[in-house]
Structure 1
Amino acid sequence: MQRMGMVIGVKPEMIAEYKQLHAKVWPEILDLISLCNIRNYTIFLREPENLLFGTWEYHGNDFRADMAKMAADPKNQEWWSFTIPCQTSLDTCQEGEWWAMMEEVFHHD
């Protein structure tokens, strides 16, 4: 199991819509997240900085393959057509990165 964290900006004028979308995540998206070996997925909002922080546990053996499966799924692409316009990537993101991945520096069970 690998814990992962990531951060992205959210457009201030889109916060209410983003919250509304995530209050009723489509069942197909929840199933896909589980199918791609992601567990305990949580997104936090930090205002007034307008940052989203996501954290999850990855329980698979091939993260790249699972993320490719997720990205290729037509229902997920439709979901992203609603969520991505709410977000704004950080200026420091790596090439091809939307959410900026974070380094875990501390954990306590």
Structure 2
Amino acid sequence: MERKGSVIGLNAEKIAEYKRLHAAVWPDVLKMISACNIRNYSIFLKEPENLLFSYFEYHGSDFAADMAKMAADPTTQDWWAVCMPCQNPLSTRKEGEWWAEMEEVFHHD
């Protein structure tokens, strides 16, 4: 199992919409998340900075393949199309990232 954390900005005028969307995530999106071996997935919002922090645990054996499977799913693509306009990616993110990946520097079970 691998723990993943990432961060992205949230446009202030889209906070209510983003919360509304995530209060009722489309069932097929949730099924795809599970099919791609992601468990214990949470997104947290820090205001007034309007930062979203994402945490999940990956239980598969090929993260890149599972993320490609998710990205190829038409329903997930539609979901991202409604969520992405709410988000404001960090200027310091790495090439190819939307959400900026974070290094885990501490963990305690």
Q: TM-score, normalised by structure 2?
A: 0.99
Partner residue of 2:108?
108
Shift, 1:96, TM fit? 0.9
Does residue 91 of the first structure (1) align with residue 91 of the second (2)?
yes
Matches of 1:70 and 1:84, distance apart in 2: 15
Equivalent in the alignment of 2:42: 42
Alignment of 1:57-76 (within 5 A): 57-76=57-76
Amino acid at match of 1:78: D
Root-mean-square deviation (CA, aligned residues, Å) is 0.4
The match for 1:3 is 3
% identity of equivalent residues: 69
Say whether residues 1:51 and 2:55 are aligned partners: no
For structure 2, list consecutive stretches of 5 or more residues without a partner in the other structure: none
d(CA) in 2 for partners of 1:76, 1:104: 27
Task: Tell me, in whole angstroms, the C-alpha distance in 1 between the residues paired with 2:58 and 2:14.
Answer: 28
Which residue of structure 1 aligns with residue 16 of structure 2? 16
Number of residues of Structure 1 aligned to a counterpart in Structure 2: 109
In 1, Cα distance between the equivalents of 2:95 and 2:52? 20
4+ residue stretches of structure 1 with deviation over 6 A?
none
CA distance in 2, matches of 1:93, 1:19: 23
What's the offset of the Cα at 1:49? 0.3
TM-score when normalising by structure 1: 0.99
**Hey, what's the Cα distance between the residues in 2 that align with 1:81 and 1:64?**
21
